[in-house]
Structure 1
Amino acid sequence: MKQRLQQATLHRLLDANARFALGGNGTTNHCPMALCALAAMGAPPERLQDFFDMWESRYALAAPAATKVVERETWQAGVGNPTSFVALRDCFEEWIWCSGADAVLAQTLQHMPFAPASGAFHALIRLSYGLEAQHVGEIAAGLAALASGNLHIDTGSQPRTPAVSVRAGFDSLSRAVHGVQFDGGMITSRLRAAAAEPRFQAALPAAPAQPQLLDQMAQAAIALYWQTNNFTALHIVTGLHAARRVFEHLPSVLVSQLMPELWAAVCAAYVSIGAPALAPAAALLIEEDVLPDSADTWQDLFTTAIASDDDHVIKLVYTCYSENLRAPSPLYLAAAARRAGRVLQMH
């Protein structure tokens, strides 16, 4: 009964979120993503309502009215046009109701540049949460954000030698671009500047030809975030988790086609923070008795995250928990605890 009430509340609030713009007051509209993560961690209905009310009063901006109608046959005209978000969302929502989310995802992602870095990875993250919550409006909104804010990393047509591994690929980029600073107050601005940097274009290897590439990228991302405590690195971690969730809804052949674009986006994000050399894996290991990796420890972190109004605390704790279930690493627990404000007693 409690779970049904929680899900009903979540869907009601996600419906209400449609009146908010894609952006917020000085930020992206994180409200629906945070609500989904809160619900997944067990937040009760009243907490979901409190977070929604907080967001509406502090950050929400009214969504503009759609000035045009986008049809299924013409949706590609809105790709890369931020003003098309509402019209694209309405088009995708109707399409999903008719054909199903997985079919629409496959159809659209085959016919636009895959741009996982769009909106600093938030478009992909929003799409993944919409899929997890099984909320058609949010699936449509995430897909519309991915299309309208399409930040595609153009790597040109020249042949590139695949990196031996993700870490080897990062190492080659670090040697070429280490310490370079990119202008821009927003993550997306620095991403665009990094992608356009000639040294990045010259040094970028092709994606490693390995079947577990996404797992390797996730492992490198949590190591990068733990090492740097960098805000963009946090978005790489949550963005890769989102990619995993979205890819579960796509045919494996299409996932293989999209993976090089995900690799390029992650590499551009890495370079945008100065391409710091990754420390050896052994040097990053946290003593496992600092915080016991147990159900009780994670539940304590859930309790902290559920009480927080910081959407990045909420999403990172849930992401680290989910990724740690797949591929346990003390770095996930350590990173989640640090972001949630838990003190780690290092020995």
Structure 2
Amino acid sequence: MLEELLARAQDYDIDTKVGGFTNHLPMALIALDRLGASDARLKEYFQMYSENLKPLEYTSITEEFNWFEHLGERDKFGAYLEYYTNKINLNGWQAVLRSHIDKIIQGCAASAFHALIRLSYGIIQENAKEITFGLAHLSSHYLRLPESSKSENEPSAILNNALNTFSDYVASGDTITNRMIDIANHNKFTNINKFSSGLSLASLSHLFTQLYLRSSDFTVLHAVTSCHAMRIVLPYIEDKENALVGYWSAALVAILSVENLELRDVCEIQTKSLEQLNVEIAAKSNDDHLIKLVFSCIEEHKNYKSINHMKILVSKLVK
């Protein structure tokens, strides 16, 4: 049933009918399936969500199309979709992913990480068409960021300095992506766009989950779920260090785009085992972000044995 619904979902645009909002349907369906949702529930969710979507308009590649030169040109999504479809049909998705991902991962802030997340879900599902959509989305919405510089400070110290620097600034824009672009273009960003030597995805996962536990912020949620996505994509990347530096800069931009980010002390949360969680709460929810957050936290907890991910799960699934 899942594969059938994914095939139908791939007839829709990457954005919803409401401008500026990303289509989460394929990702939510995969997450629901992994959370144990029944076929009937998957069909119900598809019917509910697809009412807010618009049909995908296919366009063809022109002779002058060059995948590298057109990165970040949103109107080229259709061309990228055809380009990656043709490449994957000839060479298979693993080879195509490996030959392109080192470049396009540097634009991973695309659509507030949703392109990266869709790509990772395609990899999890081993669905070539979903991977095609993820690659095309990441390429056409590629978000260039200023180059960062190395620091001897830990990521938490770099983040705190960045938050202090931007404490009086409110990013402009009606979407997360537009606010991220505003931060990236701010003249102060270059000075605080630093990365730690020996940067690791595990350390970022810990930092972002701690930040979410202290804020429950919607944008920070995307840092948590995108960190899971990076773990899935990273094995296909040759220059992992450079990819992590680019991802960290993107996450920094996202966090700084939050207006008046309030960080409170973390409430005492009694941890549970995965078996004690009521995952059905997420499986019955129509909130695509909750569904994906729960799925990501379960997978990250399995990988890292992370207390922070478990605390997030308890806060969402224990009533």
Q: TM-score normalised to the size of structure 1?
A: 0.84
The residue aligned with 1:237 is 224
Aligned residues: 317
Q: Residue 14 of structure 2: SS of its match in structure 1?
A: strand
Q: How does 1:151-230 map to 2 (within 5 A)?
A: 151-155=143-147, 160-205=149-194, 207-210=195-198, 213-230=200-217
Q: 1: distance between equivalents of 2:35 and 2:56?
A: 28
Give the alignment partner of residue 296 of structure 1, picking from 266, 270, 275: 275
| Equivalent residues of 1:115, 1:152 under 8 A apart | yes
One-letter code aligned to 1:195: A
Query: Which residue of structure 2 aligns with residue 313 of structure 1?
Result: 290
- Which sits farther off after the overlay, 315-324 or 70-79? 70-79
Greater Cα offset, 72-81 or 187-196? 72-81
State the shift of 1:86 in Å: 2.3
Alignment partners' CA distance in 2, 1:286 and 1:18: 42
Answer yes or no: is the 8 Å Cα contact 1:71–1:91 preserved in 2.
Answer: no
- CA displacement, residues 100-128 of structure 1 (integer Å, 9 cap, x when unaligned): 22221222124446111100100000000
Counterpart for residue 4 of structure 1: none
Give the TM-score taking structure 2 as reference length: 0.91
Measured at CA, do residues 166 and 255 of structure 1 come closer, stay the same or move farther in structure 2, by a change above 3 Å? same
Amino acid at match of 1:152: R
CA contact 1:20–1:63 (8 Å) conserved in 2: yes
Change over 3 Å in CA distance of 1:293–1:173 after alignment to 2: same
Partner of 2:135: 143
User: How many Å separate the matches in 2 of 1:276 and 1:191?
Assistant: 14
Letter in 1 for 2:54: L
Residues 310-346 of structure 1 deviation map (CA, whole Å, 9 limit, x = unaligned) = 1011000011111112223443233234445x54xxx
Structure 1 residue 98 displacement after superposition:
2.2
What is the rounded CA distance, in whole Å, between the counterparts of 2:89 and 2:180 in structure 1?
34
Q: One-letter code of the match for 1:268?
A: V
Q: Which stretch has the larger CA shift, 21-30 or 320-329? A: 320-329
Distance in structure 1 (CA, Å) of the matches to 2:131 and 2:72:
18
Task: Tell me how large the CA RMSD over aligned residues is.
Answer: 2.3
Give the 3 Å change call, closer, same or farther, for CA 70–108 of structure 1 in structure 2.
Answer: farther
1:63 correspondence with 2:42? no
Query: How much has 1:95 moved relative to structure 2?
Result: 1.3
Query: 1:337/1:113 Cα in 2 relative to 1: closer, same or farther (>3 Å)?
Result: closer
Aligned to 2:309: 332
Deviations 1:7-62 (A, max 9, x none): xx2111111112100100222110001011111112222221211111112x1111
Of 116, 120, 144, which aligns to 1:124? 116
> Structure 1 stretch 139-148 or stretch 35-44: which is displaced more?
35-44
Q: Percent identity?
A: 27
Q: Does 2:266 correspond to 1:284? A: yes
